[in-house]
Amino acid sequence: MVPLYKFYKMRFDIITVLPELLESPLNHSIMQRARDKGLLDVHLHQLRDYATGKHRQVDDYQFGGGAGMVMKPEPIAACLDKLLAERQYDEIIYTTPDGVKLDQSVCNQLSLKNNLIVLCGHYKGVDDRIRQKYVTMEISIGDYVLSGGELAAAVLVDSVGRLIPGVLNDETSALFDSFQDNLLAPPVYTRPAVWNGMPVPDILLSGHEKNIEDWRHDQAVERTKARRPDLF
């Protein structure tokens, strides 16, 4: 029987002024394996390629004054229009500090999509008319400001891409990650059974799967209460 993931592929198109910031995170480890397996396609689009003029300018001063430059609408629209003419996209995502907070629930939802565009913010952000006309979803990876949206895009691709069926060698692994059930993951141990006088909990050496599962759940609950009570 052919695994279901053999028929599944996700595509990310990322629009950015700094594609080199994304090349390393997406060309190593699990993301590279996902691409090698043909389960994940990531295409980087240099926004300056869609700008006009001698200097291929992608930013300009704000109307109304104020510090910082704003990304111009014309090159972004040109890039988006080209992509939208080639295929249908499930979401056009803009990475911005005022977007919805990226959490495991959002990752799970996006992992069920096929084609996603990610627009990386930069400078003071994009002309708001782009957000009104094209953007269908806005995502923030935390309550802080980065120099640009590229690192946020890398986090998004990694957190969503690892959930694609067939990407992880153990397909049940992602089901037990932190936040999947609004709990932090329980403590984990490996060999040796005793290290620096500190033994592994006896229950994990018992071989009793039900008791181990119950212990892990209890540990996850206690850890979440202590460290992230807000998740309750």
pLDDT at 171 (0 to 100): 54
pLDDT of residue 169: 63
| More confident site: 78 or 122 | 78
Given a cut of 50, whether residue 51 has pLDDT beyond it is: yes
Comparing 184 with 120, the larger pLDDT belongs to 120
Question: How much is the pLDDT for 179?
Answer: 54
Domain 4-161 fold: Alpha/beta knot (3.40.1280)
**C-alpha to C-alpha distance for 163 and 171, rounded to whole angstroms:** 9
- For residue 26, what pLDDT band results from cuts at 50, 70 and 90? confident
Return the pLDDT at 129: 98
pTM for this prediction: 0.87
Delimit the CATH 1.10.1270.20 region(s) of the chain: 178-231
Pinpoint the alpha helices (H) of the chain.
20-26, 29-36, 73-86, 104-110, 128-133, 150-161, 209-227
| pLDDT at position 173 | 52
For residue 7, pLDDT over 60 is answered with no
Parts of the chain belonging to CATH 3.40.1280.10:
4-161
Residue pair 119/75 in contact (Cβ under 8 Å)? The answer is no
- Band (177; pLDDT cuts 50, 70, 90): low
pLDDT, tens digit, for every residue of 151-164?
999 999 999 999 98
143, pLDDT greater than 70: yes
64-82 tens-digit pLDDT: 999 999 999 999 999 999 9
The first and second tokens of residue 14, run together, are 């990322």
Q: Work out the end-to-end distance of the chain between its first and last CA atoms, rounded to an integer number of angstroms.
A: 41
**Model confidence at 231: pLDDT above 70:** yes
Query: Distance between CA atoms of 126 and 31, rounded to whole angstroms?
Result: 28
Which helix (H) or strand (E) element contains residue 140? strand 137-140
**Which position has the token pair 């594609």?**
19
- CATH T-level assignment (fold) for domain 178-231: Trp Operon Repressor; Chain A (1.10.1270)
- Is a pLDDT exceeding 70 seen at residue 47? yes
